Amino acid sequence: MLNLVLFGAPGSGKGTQSEKIIDKYGLHHISTGEVLRKNIKEGTELGKIADEYISKGHLIPDSLMVDILRQELKGLPKTTKGVIFDGFPRTIPQAQELETILAEMGESLTGVLGLEVAEDELVERMLKRGAETGRADDNIDTIQNRLKVYHEQTEPLKAHYQGKGSYIAINGIGNVDEIFSNIANEIDGRVK
Ligand code: AMP
Number of the ligand 1 atom closest to the C-alpha atom of 58: 12
190 within a domain of the structure (yes/no)? no
Mean pLDDT of 117-127: 97
Instruction: Find, among 98, 85, 71, 70, the residue nearest to 6 by Cα.
Output: 85
The total of structural domains in the chain comes to 1
| Ligand 1 centroid from CA 22, angstroms | 20
Task: Tell me the pairing of strands 111-116 and 167-171.
Answer: parallel
Give the 3-state DSSP-derived string for 82-130, with helices as H, strands as E and coil as C.
EEEEECCCCCHHHHHHHHHHHHHCCCCCCEEEEEECCHHHHHHHHHHHH
C-alpha span between 58 and 51 (Å, rounded): 10
191 within a domain of the structure (yes/no)? no
17 lines ligand 1 (CB under 6 A): no
Q: What is the pLDDT of residue 16?
A: 96
pLDDT (tens digit, 9 = 90+) per residue, 31-48?
999 999 999 999 999 999
CB 47 within 8 A of CB 39: yes
87 within a domain of the structure (yes/no)? yes
124 within a domain of the structure (yes/no)? yes
C-alpha span between 174 and 31 (Å, rounded): 23
Q: Which residues contact 185 (CB under 8 A, 6 or more apart)?
A: none
C-alpha span between 137 and 119 (Å, rounded): 17
Ligand 1, atom 2: closest residue by C-alpha? 33
192 within a domain of the structure (yes/no)? no
| Ligand 1 centroid from CA 192, angstroms | 32
C-alpha span between 2 and 37 (Å, rounded): 26
pLDDT (tens digit, 9 = 90+) per residue, 156-183?
999 999 999 999 999 999 999 999 999 9
174 within a domain of the structure (yes/no)? yes
Mean pLDDT of the chain: 96
Q: Identify the CATH number of the domain in which residue 37 sits.
A: 3.40.50.300
pLDDT greater than 90 at residue 190:
no
C-alpha span between 60 and 80 (Å, rounded): 28
78 — pLDDT class (breaks 50, 70, 90): confident
Q: What is the pLDDT of residue 192?
A: 60
C-alpha span between 64 and 56 (Å, rounded): 17
pLDDT (tens digit, 9 = 90+) per residue, 8-17?
999 999 999 9
152 within a domain of the structure (yes/no)? yes
Active site residue 56: no
pLDDT greater than 80 at residue 123:
yes
| Ligand 1 centroid from CA 7, angstroms | 12
Range of the domain at 16: 2-185
Catalytic residue among 38, 135, 158, 190: 135
Best substitution site from 60, 85, 149 to test ligand 1's pocket, by max atoms within 8 Å of Cβ?
A: 60
64 within a domain of the structure (yes/no)? yes
CB 5 within 8 A of CB 85: yes
Ligand 1, atom 12: closest residue by C-alpha? 54
Ligand 1, atom 19: closest residue by C-alpha? 88
In DSSP terms, 112 is beta-bridged to: 5, 167
Catalytic residue among 38, 129, 158, 190: 129
Active site residue 37: no
Mean pLDDT of 123-130: 97
In DSSP terms, 84 is beta-bridged to: 4, 29
Active site residue 135: yes
Instruction: Say what the pTM is.
Output: 0.95
C-alpha span between 149 and 154 (Å, rounded): 7
